[in-house]
């Protein structure tokens, strides 16, 4: 891709996210989401490969469907309330529709099937953008509307995402698919705390980004794509191999690493709010995710 066109696409990607984050009007938030989606489609398809084209098509269809639901719910809410303010979700179907649409954009269970396939169809750098930057616009909207979203739907999405992500990740050998299921699992934890503590939501999101970005940078520099490639990383770069093992364990939430802190705080907050069954369920389902992270670490240490 021409460097000028690529820089323009990345600028529009950033601009769309900024418009969504700074907007209190539903139409402007929708415009930001559309700019963000349209800017990343050429980036997804820039490899001129059938799998990249398929990934871009899947991404476009899912994002356009979710954006249409958001626009419909905002028009429906504005029709009944007379306001386009994002924080005024008083009409009954609107919060539920908005939650489902944003969950679809993020790739939560059961609307998660597109995310691993799209991640596998693009290169590692583009997969990094999908799992980090592309999560920010929907998360901003969730943050603004957190107190008005239906808690039952949020908790169901959280439990199903942590369970399915851990279960599905056990069967994968492609690292990009594993990171996709890792993203789904961490988003499940964020949804669990969304209606209870927005500050803890931002902290968990920040920690997820700080752990995910270094992993992808290591995978990009070492051209590692599968678990088998990961097992050969020690021979080329022992330092990168060691860092990879530590970050994988942190992503799994193994104490006393950094990834354990947000999960610990989330469990403490849920327990304080008398949501002990939810906290217990999240703890049990997180063991599945921890298992496939430990499997990755074990495969990495086989050649040491």
| Token pair of 121 as six digits | 């169809």
Grade residue 292 by pLDDT with cuts at 50, 70 and 90.
confident
The structure's pTM equals: 0.93
Rg of the Cα atoms in the chain: 19
Other C-beta atoms closer than 10 Å to the C-beta of 7 total: 11
| Token pair of 302 as six digits | 């086989």
- CA end-to-end distance (rounded Å), the chain: 39
Whole-angstrom Cα distance, residue 104 to residue 149? Answer: 15
Q: Tens digits of per-residue pLDDT, 217-273?
A: 999 998 888 888 877 877 788 888 888 888 988 998 888 888 899 999 999 999 999
Q: Quick one: pLDDT at residue 265?
A: 94
Q: Quick one: pLDDT at residue 302?
A: 59
Whole-angstrom Cα distance, residue 260 to residue 115? Answer: 25
Are 172 and 123 contacting, i.e. CB atoms less than 8 angstroms apart?
no
| pLDDT-wise least confident of 59-63, 81-85, 133-137 | 81-85
| pLDDT-wise least confident of 79-83, 185-189, 233-237 | 233-237
Whole-angstrom Cα distance, residue 280 to residue 185? Answer: 16
3-class DSSP state for residue 122?
Answer: coil
Q: Quick one: pLDDT at residue 31?
A: 93
Whole-angstrom Cα distance, residue 266 to residue 258? Answer: 14
pLDDT > 90 in the chain, percent: 55
């Amino acid at each position: 891709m021409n460097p000028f066109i690529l820089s323009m696409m990345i600028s529009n990607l950033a601009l769309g996210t900024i418009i969504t984050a700074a907007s209190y009007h539903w139409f402007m938030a929708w415009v930001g989401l559309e700019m963000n989606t349209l800017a990343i489609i050429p980036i997804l398809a820039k490899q001129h490969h059938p799998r990249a084209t398929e990934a871009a098509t899947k991404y476009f269809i899912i994002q356009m469907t979710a954006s249409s639901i958001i626009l419909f719910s905002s028009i429906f809410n504005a029709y009944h309330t007379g306001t386009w303010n994002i924080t005024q979700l008083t009409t009954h179907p609107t919060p539920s529709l908005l939650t489902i649409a944003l969950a679809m954009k993020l790739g939560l269970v059961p609307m998660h099937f597109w995310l691993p396939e799209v991640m596998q169809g693009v290169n590692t750098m583009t997969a990094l953008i999908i799992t980090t930057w592309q999560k920010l616009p929907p998360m901003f909207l969730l943050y603004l509307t957190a107190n008005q979203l239906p808690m039952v739907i949020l908790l169901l999405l959280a439990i199903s995402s942590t369970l399915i992500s851990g279960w599905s990740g056990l069967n994968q050998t492609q690292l990009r698919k594993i990171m996709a299921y890792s993203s789904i699992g961490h988003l499940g934890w964020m949804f669990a705390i969304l209606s209870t503590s927005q500050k803890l939501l931002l902290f968990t999101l920040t920690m997820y980004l700080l752990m995910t970005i270094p992993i992808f940078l290591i995978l990009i520099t070492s051209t590692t794509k599968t678990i088998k490639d990961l097992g050969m990383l020690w021979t080329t770069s022992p330092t990168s191999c060691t860092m990879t093992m530590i970050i994988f364990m942190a992503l799994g939430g193994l104490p006393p690493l950094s990834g354990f802190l947000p999960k610990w705080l989330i469990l403490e907050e849920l327990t304080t709010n008398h949501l002990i069954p939810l906290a217990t369920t999240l703890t049990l389902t997180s063991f599945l995710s921890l298992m496939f992270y430990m499997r990755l670490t074990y495969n990495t240490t086989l050649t040491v």
